[in-house]
Amino acid sequence: MGDNGPVSTDSSDRASKQPAKRTSSGRSTRRTPRPARRAGNPVAADEPAAAQNSDGARVPSAPPAVTRAAATTDLPEDRYLNRELSWLDFNARVLAIAEDKSQPVLERAKFLAIFASNLDEFYMVRVAGLKRREETGLSVRSADGLTPHEQLVRISAHNQDLMEKLSRVFLDELVPELAAHGIRILNWAELETADQIKLSRYFEDHIFPVLTPLAVDPAHPFPYISGLSLNLAVTVADPDAGLRRFARVKVPDNVPRLIRVEADRENEHATFLPLEELIAAHLGKLFPGMRVAEHHIFRVTRNADLEVEEDRDEDLLQAMERELARRRFGPPVRLEVTETMSETMLELLLRELEVDQHDVVEVKGLLDLSCLFQLDRLHRTDLKEAPFVPATHPAFAEGQTPKSIFATLREGDVLVHHPYDSFSTSVQRFIEQAAADPHVLAIKQTLYRTSGDSPIVNALIDAAEAGKQVVALVELKARFDEQANIQWARTLERSGVHVVYGLVGLKTHCKTALVVRQEGSTIRRYCHLGTGNYNPKTARLYEDLGLLTASPEIGADLTDLFNVLTGYARHGQYRRILVSPQGIRNGIVERVEAESERARQGLPCGIRMKVNSLVDEQIIDSLYRASLAGVPVQVVVRGICALKAGVDGLSENIEVRSILGRFLEHSRVFHFVGIDEHWIGSADMMHRNLDRRIETQVRVTDAKLTAQLDAMLDSTLHPSTRCWVLNAKGDWEPSPRSGEQVRDHQVEMLRLHGAKVR
């Protein structure tokens, strides 16, 4: 979900070894937004090339001129943006939504929480990886030529700018606006005396019994600080001996971080006290007979990227459990402290935690603003986006004579677009009907992430208990969902489901389901291929696409794919799908080159693509060459983009935009206009997806469904759609400019699909 601040360009070793300043200079720059470059919308193969008029409609025009550089095969070395800094730019766009005063205040709070949660994962995985490379002496440079050390320096500078903006937005804007609507986040001293007395009783009854102060002295070593836990660093003084001692108090993570002060939870006004404030106010009870000299909040982020030696371990499930136990002991990669922390206390933490001073992030106000997710539970519909009810896809609407999904799919393919189209009445119903249908012989499905009370998993269990052959490929290595997937795997196995864990060295990230059904003397296969997970909860938050089909070709493709996933088959050629590794990158590049060839021949051409991330160098280079050949390329990317757009002599025919909003734009769609092919799938254009994962892309051929995909892409690329546009300098600019007409793509999709907004 989802602006940008400047990044430090000082990557010299000398500069990076200077001691980090305790306070930032607070520098910032303002960019004047420019109009988005509006490349013409490509058209179908039997139409002339097109541009857009002022209304966004297609009008005939000549294809872009071939540039003089098109004849050369050499591309400049500095043609990529840095992957990690591009991710920080993405999170800056998330923060920009929290800054947007036109958003309901609780939505703004939610985006601050999303920003904070995103940043935690970035440090646990990406920064941790860079630190590991730096510490092991690996001199591998990024695609833009930076060493791990240089990247870490720039990340630190960019992140400090973002944290300053985060604090300003929270303290100066959000807290006062929340208070104006009756929602207050106070410290202990700001509470009324009666409220302090009431909360003191709450502390005695619910908090005090679970607290464990840990002293540090010759008999007590410095305690282990678990990743992402909130902690109080306390200095206590012995009034008799005059000695000062350090102690650590962990803030419990099994009680709400923001304590509701009011007893009446139905009251629309709400006052909250941070849990650490309550503990700090009662530290004297934890250290009776001692004087509390000072206390400060701190938080450590640790490396949480798992490294499973799959070739060594015969049992992947046991290997994952062992690595999950190790995750909490990963080395620290970030230390967050309050700006009021004393130098003495900071030096102690740096020494004991073995954290470099450059990894210290000072925060004004609350640490860990992901706690603001709590505010979303308030029943204040006046301060949130209007709730909506997803529409049942017309193909599955119940008529006077209810029809099974199988009968519907025999009449033609169906493309569902979540969250606008209901997940429960389409994909979930497909699996549930298969589980209950006595004519269904087998169900095969991949599970990457699912919900805690998954109706999909329950349906698979029901099917197995009814005697059907059920195969579930549960991906144990789905990051941060490993423990949940281990539990699901064991539950499924106990129910008689054949559970497999994928292939050694590869994650299975594709979203596929295959149902085998006996129909008279015929065996028919029904399929679902999607861009998102089989998770009914995220299906209301993530924008995704799914193809439901009875196509014999796709059925044969999925049969071959599951044989690869569960057995020893090595299948290379498929009919209607592309499969990574190898297949998707090669397939995309071949189609990009086909569009380039059409441009050189003066034929209609164009590429439109919508992805989460665009990082893979081979894909990017193919798009550069397409641009040089004269192909109009339009890219919608939610997150990371390493491609440089609008650069003369390289990418002047490429437009890149990013759409962030209420729903997380998650679908991956490709439209190769000249050859008239539409593809959807699970893979982003990243190394991990194309080289280290099993992913699928499926070609959509039905004219009604491709028209649906075109309408969606037209909406994302409409000149008036609210978005950010990547300029030739590598900066993201808001578009349209202030004062211009603005439309919201997601609101338009809600209207188009008939979802009911309350």
What is the predicted pLDDT for the residue at 30? 30
Model confidence band, residue 476 (pLDDT cutoffs 50, 70, 90): low
What is the predicted pLDDT for the residue at 211? 95
Q: How far apart are CA 697 and CA 683, in angstroms?
A: 7
Residue 38 clears pLDDT 70, i.e. is over it: no
| Segment 60-76 mean pLDDT | 50
Q: How far apart are CA 71 and CA 665, in angstroms?
A: 37
Residue 63 clears pLDDT 70, i.e. is over it: no
| Segment 106-127 mean pLDDT | 96
What is the predicted pLDDT for the residue at 15? 32
What confidence tens digit (pLDDT) does each residue in 561-602 have? 999 998 877 777 899 999 999 899 999 999 999 999 999 999
- % of the chain with per-residue pLDDT over 70: 85
Quote the tokens at residue 444. Answer: 């095969």
What is the predicted pLDDT for the residue at 242? 74
44-48, 135-139, 405-409, 499-503 — which is least confidently predicted? Answer: 44-48
Residue 21 clears pLDDT 60, i.e. is over it: no
Question: Model pTM?
Answer: 0.85
Residue 686 clears pLDDT 80, i.e. is over it: yes
36-45, 174-183, 332-341, 657-666 — which is least confidently predicted? Answer: 36-45
Secondary structure of residue 600 in the 3-state scheme? helix
Residue 72 clears pLDDT 80, i.e. is over it: no
**Phi and psi at residue 512, to the nearest 5°:** -135, 145
Q: How far apart are CA 473 and CA 508, in angstroms?
A: 8
Mean pLDDT taken over the chain: 86
| Segment 699-725 mean pLDDT | 97
Quote the tokens at residue 31. Answer: 């960019």
What confidence tens digit (pLDDT) does each residue in 511-539 have? 999 999 999 999 999 999 999 999 999 99
| Segment 529-553 mean pLDDT | 96
β partners of residue 80: 643
| Segment 183-212 mean pLDDT | 96
Select from 168, 184, 180, 178 the least CA-distant residue to 273: 184
CB 107 within 8 A of CB 128: no
509 tagged catalytic: yes
Give the angle 14-17-18 at the CA atoms, nearest 5°.
95
Residue 302 clears pLDDT 60, i.e. is over it: yes
Residue 23 clears pLDDT 90, i.e. is over it: no
What confidence tens digit (pLDDT) does each residue in 620-671 have? 999 999 999 999 999 999 999 999 999 999 999 999 999 999 999 999 999 9
Tell me the CA distances in angstroms from 154 to 127, 140, 158, 234, 399, one per residue in order. Answer: 11, 17, 6, 33, 59
Q: How far apart are CA 441 and CA 430, in angstroms?
A: 14
What is the predicted pLDDT for the residue at 306? 53
What residue has token string 């209304």? 55
What is the predicted pLDDT for the residue at 480? 55
| Segment 385-406 mean pLDDT | 86
Model confidence band, residue 267 (pLDDT cutoffs 50, 70, 90): confident
Residue 246 clears pLDDT 90, i.e. is over it: yes
What radius of gyration do the chain's Cα atoms show? 28
Q: How far apart are CA 354 and CA 131, in angstroms?
A: 13
Residue 186 clears pLDDT 50, i.e. is over it: yes
Quote the tokens at residue 188. Answer: 């202990």
| Segment 615-624 mean pLDDT | 97
Alpha-helix residue ranges (DSSP H) falling in 62-104: 83-99
Cβ-count burial of 373 within 10 angstroms (0-12 exposed, 13-18 middle, 19+ buried)?
A: middle
What is the predicted pLDDT for the residue at 18? 35
Close Cβ partners of 454 (under 8 Å, ≥ 6 residues apart): 488, 534, 535, 536
Number of H helices, E strands in the chain: 21, 31
| Segment 40-57 mean pLDDT | 35
| Domains of the chain with bracketed CATH | 52-74+578-757 (3.30.870.10), 151-383 (3.30.1840.10), 388-572 (3.30.870.10)
Q: How far apart are CA 563 and CA 568, in angstroms?
A: 7
How far does the chain reach from its first CA to its final CA, in angstroms? Answer: 22
Model confidence band, residue 323 (pLDDT cutoffs 50, 70, 90): low
Q: How far apart are CA 678 and CA 58, in angstroms?
A: 19
E strands present in 436-521: 440-447, 469-474, 498-500, 507-508, 511-519
Cβ-count burial of 752 within 10 angstroms (0-12 exposed, 13-18 middle, 19+ buried)?
A: middle
Residue 8 clears pLDDT 50, i.e. is over it: no
Residue 747 clears pLDDT 80, i.e. is over it: yes
| Segment 214-237 mean pLDDT | 89
CB 361 within 8 A of CB 168: no
Length reported for the chain: 758
Quote the tokens at residue 338. Answer: 């309050």
Select from 506, 500, 507 the least CA-distant residue to 448: 507
| Segment 415-443 mean pLDDT | 97
> When comparing pLDDT for 485 and 656, which is higher?
656
| Segment 233-238 mean pLDDT | 93
Residue 16 clears pLDDT 50, i.e. is over it: no
Which of 295, 418, 509, 671 is labelled catalytic?
A: 509
Residue 318 clears pLDDT 70, i.e. is over it: no
> When comparing pLDDT for 474 and 673, which is higher?
673
What is the predicted pLDDT for the residue at 61? 37
Residue 312 clears pLDDT 50, i.e. is over it: no
> When comparing pLDDT for 557 and 11, which is higher?
557
CB 99 within 8 A of CB 89: no
Residue 1 clears pLDDT 90, i.e. is over it: no
| Segment 365-380 mean pLDDT | 95
What is the predicted pLDDT for the residue at 742? 93
What confidence tens digit (pLDDT) does each residue in 83-92 have? 999 999 999 9
Residue 27 clears pLDDT 70, i.e. is over it: no
Model confidence band, residue 73 (pLDDT cutoffs 50, 70, 90): low
Cβ-count burial of 703 within 10 angstroms (0-12 exposed, 13-18 middle, 19+ buried)?
A: exposed
CB 564 within 8 A of CB 570: yes
146-155, 303-312, 324-333, 546-555 — which is least confidently predicted? Answer: 303-312
